[in-house]
Amino acid sequence: MSTSIQRRLFGTDGIRGIAGEMPLDPATVFAAGLAIGHSVRRDGEGRVILGRDTRESSGWIAATLAAGVREAGGSVDSAGVVPTPAVAFLARTHGFDAGVVISASHNPWRDNGIKLFGGDGFKLPDSVELAIEDEILHHASNSTAPDPTKLPPVKDNAALQSDYVAFLLNAVSGLQLKDLAVVADCANGAAGAVAPELFRTTGGDVTLLNVNPNGRNINDGCGALHPASVATEVKNRGAAIGLTFDGDADRCMLADANGSVVNGDAILLMAARDLQSRGLLTGNIVVATTMSNMGLEAALKRSGIRMLRAPVGDRYVLEEMQKNNAALGGEQSGHILFPHLATTGDGLLTALVVLDLVARTGKRLDELIADFKVFPQVIVNVKVREKKPLESIPAVAARIRAADEDLKDSGRVVIRYSGTEPLARVMIEAESEEAMNRHAHSIADAIRAELGA
């Protein structure tokens, strides 16, 4: 799978944009339904499972896309408001030919998106996605879309949601939190639809925050994009651990009892050591990304674990894992992959795995990662008007070379475009905080001067 494939609609995680505008205008959404319907009719019975998050646009987008699938001869079942990984699970276990999620994940409420899974529960290969993309663009200009306001809402099947909760509980069979005090921030998103049922049987004192979505408050000052919020709540309440999810609950960040944020790198470290101790870490390999901290690599090495780096995006992490038969992989942002349990990153599953680890070991979260020393790291986001290859811009390339030469073995320089937003991300990691900031802002200034929006 190549990250250099030219995409017109699909980013690294589906189609994403402002709801109501291209590519999420009614005509293109309906065309997406037609294309998906034709694809599943060619390769199977044409059954599609649909899920959505809590954005006010998710309802009409779901109804419009479903109309397109049916127009193409397919059928649609809806699990309602569920996390993205729930759709992957249901597609794989309930005989669907494809899964579709209406969500823009961690983006603001005005945005939305369309994510696709195959009947095997995995994200679609590039070749299939690009074929669907070509058909969408064809239909968008040659088909008449129905008026979304005149379409009936999709009918939800609550039993599908319950099946997903049962899967999560079976994945960590016997989990009992006992007296453990937990604070969980559901980001006013999809996690809030299943968290009450999920935690009802696990014991412990679980406080759920941000479970009152109004269509516009998803990710608003809460959730995995704002992990300091739950960290503060944990400390104020005297809780043992905090969990925080993004809008579609495919990622999880944590907080320890001291009120410190625990990110995906730290989760990978504790999970890797636990799997290793139980003889489940195949090849003693963990797959992270180019954004993961050098401190993680050093801590894993002390435990005899080798860390491989993949491009950013859980699909690329999974590809590297499959290539190396790795049992664990993930991203600093909290997307964690446990292939022996699920086909895609699942924030709620990650939370349960960590809670199970804490319950089994009797150790506090901070104790499990006490030797994880994080290198200073800064990420500067630059809004860009186009995504021109950065190495082709002399002023930018010169400053990147200067940073590489200066930092050498004492730091890393990673510059990339976001796969879901019009942003260039400048990440510098270094032992010297002064050098880190100096080079990050120097490169960001050059990008802004050449490509700034």
Residues catalogued as catalytic: 105
For residue 428 the two structure tokens come to 């510098």
E-only strand ranges, 314-356 = 329-330, 336-337
Separation between Cα atoms, residue 124 and residue 48, nearest integer Å: 14
CB neighbourhood size of 45 (10 A): 12
Bridge-based pairing state of the strands 181-185 and 241-245: parallel
Coil, helix or strand at residue 47: strand
User: String of b and e for 270-296 (b: at least 16 CB within 10 Å)?
Assistant: bbbbbbbeeeebbeebbbbbbbbbbbb
d(CA 65, CA 113): 11
Residue 310 to residues 126, 237, 289, 290, 319, Cα–Cα distance (Å): 17, 38, 5, 6, 8
Q: Residues 110, 19: contact at Cβ < 8 Å?
A: yes
Residue 327 to residues 119, 208, 284, 314, Cα–Cα distance (Å): 22, 31, 9, 14
Closest CA to 293 of 217, 372, 230: 372
Cis amide linkage into residue 108, ω under 30° from 0: no
How many degrees, rounded to 5, is the angle at CA 78 between CA 72 and CA 79?
A: 155
Q: Which residue has the tokens 């930092």?
A: 407
Closest by Cα among 354, 345, 318 to 85:
345
Q: Residue 351's closest CA among 121, 133, 156, 85?
A: 85
159 CB neighbour count, 10 Å cutoff? 8
- How far is the CA of 229 from the CAs of 82, 183, 255, 357, 364, in angstroms? 23, 11, 9, 24, 20
DSSP state of 430: E
Rounded-to-integer distance, Cα 267 and Cα 258, Å: 17
Residue type, 372: F
